[in-house]
Every structure is written in C-alpha cells, then in structure tokens.
Amino acid sequence: MNFFEGEMSLEKVRQTLIRLEDTIIFQLIERSQFGRNKIIYENNKFGFKDFKGSFLEYYVRERENLDSSIRRYDSPDELPFFDKIQKPILPNLDYPSVLHPNNINVNKKIWDSYINNIVPRICTIDDDSNYGSSATIDTACLQALSRRIHFGKFVAEAKFTDPKYHDEYVKLITNQEKDKIYELLTNKDVEKKLLARVEKKARTFGQDIEFQDKEIPHLKIQPTLIPELYNDFIMPLTKEVELEYLLNRLNTPNMTEKDKEGHLHSSILKEDYKI
C-alpha cells in the first residue's frame, strides 16, 4: 500500500513519521557514542585533491557515487511532481545530493542545524579521532532527518485534500497568508504526544544491556535531549516544508498518474513510501 492508493490519508503519513522516529533516534544514539570531531565539518582540513569542502561533504559525495539508487537529474523538467512543486533544484549544488532532490533551502538548514546544534548537543566528548565512523553515522543521520522533514510534503498534501479544511487552505493560500497557514497546519496535540513518545523511545533504545542488573539502567543518551531536538529543529523544519509546499500548491496542476508513478521512483527510495 502507498499513500496514493485512494485518498492520501494523514493517518497513514503520520504512521510513517512515527516509524521514522525509530531510525532517527537509533542513529542519533549511535552518533552520541563518538566524539564531536568538529574537524570533519570544517572546510579544507584533510587536503583532498581538487576538493575544497569538508571531510563530511567529501565522504557523502563519494558514498553517493557508489549508490546507484540516488538519482541525479539533468534538468528540472525531469523532476517528479513533488519536487517540481517546490522550487526546482538543479544539480551541481554545493551540498551533497543525499539532500539534494528536495528543497535546497531546507536542506541547508538541516545540514547546518545538524552540524552546529544537534551534534554538539548529543556528543559529550570533543574529539576522539573517529572521523570515519562519525562521518558514516552522520550520513545516516542526515538521510533519516532529511527524509522525515521532507515528508512534510505528504503531510501537507493530505491536509490540503482533506475536505474539512480544503476550502480554508485554498482561501489562505490564495492570499498567501503565511502565519495563518502555519497556524492551521500546526497540531499541538500531535506534537505533544510525539515529544512524550520520543523521550520514551530514547529511554528504551538507549539502554545498555550490559548494565541491566543494576537498579538504575545505564543510558547511552540523555533521553530528554531527543524531544528537545524534535522541538527545536525537526518539527519546525518539517512545518517549514509543509508551509512552503502549501504556499506553492495552487500554482501547480493536480497530480497526473504519471506524476504519481514518477514520484514513487524519485529521490527518496521507493520503499520508504510504503507502509
């Protein structure tokens, strides 16, 4: 089953977001076991030939070159529906293409938030020289975060097509009323439940089995950090994607069958759109 069979239901999309929490939390816990290793995010520190970026950018680029499932587009016309609806993204951008196929402004924010806020908060040790391991997990973290945040497009599409809110959205979008759209797409109840759930998951997934006999379980990560990161970065960025998608929603024709198909073969792997 995928989102496009029948109505695109908000419930189905939300279930996927919940499932993606597991991936994100596991990867962040993994990353927290290594030092911050700041040097891997700084440009020009490793003396790569003909490459001026950071170790992480180099690493991600090389990894993607090996991964045939990452599709690079030759022109904006090739972009599938959901990418067209955002500003078309051309290849040869500054940032690695794990994050490319979608919205470049958001991609930059994901990248910057991750490096400047998320990593410093979860890594308690400063530098332990595990540069390769750190970059490997960073790639997985960025992929998981990017995927989750860009799912905002599906969330927004489901909200837009919901008969209960459709007319209201059309009116607000016609007038480009950003704040009101943001307010309408925000669901405080869902957010509150999410924050409680991800803390519980962090507490559960982060237990060290070796220390199980002790009365107080040994936790690999401070569990309250995870809801903090969701609250400060992951949810706001998701909502930004939703908002931008909706602001552009009336400029684009409805999805054709071909668009639906194309989309399922697009940037984010096909499997990830299945439930």
Ligand X SMILES: C=C(O[C@@H]1C=C(C(=O)O)C=C[C@H]1O)C(=O)O
Positions in the binding site for ligand X (CB under 6 A): 14, 155, 185-187, 190-191, 194, 235, 238-239, 242
Catalytic residue among 2, 105, 187, 248: 187
Which is nearer to ligand X, 48 or 182 (by Cβ)? 182
- Sign of the alpha-carbon torsion through 12, 14, 19, 23: positive
Return the closest-CA partner of residue 59 out of 142, 144, 139, 140. 139
Which is nearer to ligand X, 111 or 151 (by Cβ)? 151
Return the closest-CA partner of residue 240 out of 113, 118, 116, 137. 113
At closest approach, how far in Å is the CB of 175 from ligand X? Answer: 21
Burial annotation 107-145 (CB, 10 A radius, 16+ → b, else e) = bebbbebbbeebbebbbeeeeeebbebbbbbbbbbbbbb
Catalytic residue among 12, 14, 63, 197: 14
Tell me, yes or no, if 242 is annotated catalytic: yes
Tell me, yes or no, if 238 is annotated catalytic: yes
Return the SS3 of 152: helix
At closest approach, how far in Å is the CB of 191 from ligand X? Answer: 5
Tell me, yes or no, if 62 is annotated catalytic: no
CA geometry: angle at 71 spanning 17 and 242, to 5°?
A: 35
Which is nearer to ligand X, 36 or 201 (by Cβ)? 201
Which is nearer to ligand X, 9 or 252 (by Cβ)? 9
Catalytic residue among 31, 159, 201, 249: 159
Q: Would you state the structure tokens that stand for residue 169, as one six-digit string?
A: 């959205």
Cα(105)–Cα(138) distance, integer angstroms: 19
Tell me, yes or no, if 159 is annotated catalytic: yes
Which is nearer to ligand X, 128 or 232 (by Cβ)? 232
At closest approach, how far in Å is the CB of 101 from ligand X? Answer: 20
Which is nearer to ligand X, 56 or 225 (by Cβ)? 225
Q: Would you state the structure tokens that stand for residue 221, as one six-digit string?
A: 């990560």
At closest approach, how far in Å is the CB of 212 from ligand X? Answer: 32
Tell me, yes or no, if 257 is annotated catalytic: no
Cross-strand partners of 207: 219
Catalytic residue among 121, 201, 238, 249: 238
Task: Tell me phi and psi for residue 214, to 5 degrees.
Answer: -65, 155
At closest approach, how far in Å is the CB of 20 from ligand X? Answer: 10
Q: Would you state the structure tokens that stand for residue 262, as one six-digit string?
A: 């194309």
DSSP designation for 248: T
How many residues can be counted in the chain? 275
At closest approach, how far in Å is the CB of 48 from ligand X? Answer: 36
Give the catalytic positions in this structure: 14, 148, 159, 187, 191, 238, 242
